[in-house]
Amino acid sequence: MIRWVARGLAVVVAGGLAAGALLAASVAPLPEVAAEPPSAVVQPAESRQLRVCPGPLLSLADDAASAATARSVGAPDLSVAADPETATIEQVPLDAPENAGAAADGGPVAVSAEPGAVLAGMLAGAQSQTAATESLRGFAAASCVEPASDSWLLAGATDVGRSGLVLLANPGEVASTVDLRVVGETGPVDAPSGLGIVVPPGSQRVVSLAGLAPSVRTPVVHVTSTGAPIAAALQHSVVLGLEPAGVELSTPVAPPATRQVVPGVVVTDDRGVAPDEDHADGDDFPALRLFAPDDAEASAVVEIRDDAGSAVSEIDVTLAPGQVTDLPLGTLDPGSYTVVVDADAPVVAAARSTLLGEGEDPILADLAWSVATGALLDRAAVAVPDGPGASIVLANPDGEAVAATVTIGGGERTVTVPAGGAASVAVQGGDRLILDGVEGLHAAVAFEGDGGIASIPIAPPGPLDSPVRVFPQ
């Protein structure tokens, strides 16, 4: 009996010691051991690089007998840049069966280089055009973009006097099936005719935005495709009364993200609309278009910064679920600005600039859409087409000052971009630029002059041309 009691006591004591040890282990701090996983940045194998230029400006309903027919109003000026400059660049025109003037003015152009001919990501193209017809007037410029299966277009309107054309170019060898989903100030637009649009290989389709979403003041177009990727663009034009009052070609914005940076937003005069006038009509004042794709309310802080990096204005905005917001940017001194958006949910963004005519009560003469851009890699190529008062704008949204090198025609120039600010370099049509040391910066080519205003985004290369960080298992 005593032996059984002793054995029981031993078990109890052992259990107590084990519990105490566990308690001590849970209370005592454990040593912190952290190891940085090994990784390497790998440049993908060189592939054929491709950019697609949207082609000439188009006019609708010039002929009453064929009101739905599009016709070009001239040929754009096209500029291409590559590194090395001696690389062989191929320019292949795409078919434009829905443009009655394509035989004279051409259509979209696919700009490409064979694998190894151009350094990865160092191929660029851009186009510009001035229109002066009864239905189109103004200056428009656009970048030549990499085709993608998912992109966002933010520009224009379809209310009275405003029209838009969605341009879908397929440079691939197989057909592409495209869905266009439009969202406006009241939410998603029911547009079944925008679904299942077939774009044959090597050709362009033209879709009237008003046909998809009539009387929408703040359209956002989400372009998705299966089959071949698509190079999308949006032509926007304004007619006030009987007078044409501006035109622009807008290419896709940076993908949805909680931070968006819009570089090179040009303000031409100090006439603006207060930010709290969220239902301000018209398009003759600077504004920022914002949309949160997630079906939930989002809050954002919009900073408007001058070149020195000072925030000249800060605006808090709440984005209603599923609705697009055009936020007036208020009264700003003439100049160039960087707009930085920080949100608690992914958003897409683009800013509208305006050029007013002369006189005591001037009306809109031209407009531009500056899109949010992705951060650049260390190097970039930039093509500059003809246009008034052209300059390349380098924006540094945060961090320390950056010393970038801009090479134009063999001549190098060092440009210091202040922390939070921006720097500009005057350029001319036909210039081919190479940017070095620009990692993390955002860039655009801005045009401003008597001939009109426009903006061309400088985008980083797509995933196929970008370096990838690899973590071995």
Q: Which tens digit of pLDDT belongs to each residue from 340-380?
A: 999 999 999 999 999 998 777 788 999 999 999 999 999 99
The answer as to whether 256 is a domain residue is: yes
Would residue 166 count as lying in a domain? yes
Residue 357 lies in a domain: yes
> Which residue type does 234 have?
L
Residue 361 is part of which domain span?
Answer: 46-462
Distance from first CA to last CA of the chain, Å, rounded?
60
- What is the distance between the alpha carbons of residues 381 and 84, in angstroms, rounded to a whole number? 10
Instruction: Please indicate, yes or no, if residue 390 is contained in any of the structural domains.
Output: yes
Q: What is the dihedral of CA 467, 351, 338, 126, to 10 degrees?
A: 50
In a domain, 27, yes or no: no
Residue 470 within any structural domain of the chain: no
The predicted structure's pLDDT at residue 255: 97
Q: Is residue 90 part of a domain?
A: yes
| Spans in the chain with pLDDT lower than 50 | 1-28, 30, 63-67, 469
pLDDT for position 463: 66
How many distinct structural domains can be found in the chain? Answer: 1
Distance between CA atoms of 80 and 208, rounded to whole angstroms? 29
Residue type, 208: S
Looking up tokens 């036909």 gives 430
Give the pLDDT score at 357: 84
Beta strands 176-184 and 220-227 are antiparallel
**What pLDDT does 295 receive?**
87
Report whether 373 contacts 429 (CB < 8 A).
no
> Whole-angstrom Cα distance, residue 390 to residue 178?
34
Query: CA Rg, the chain, in Å?
Result: 27
184 located within any domain: yes
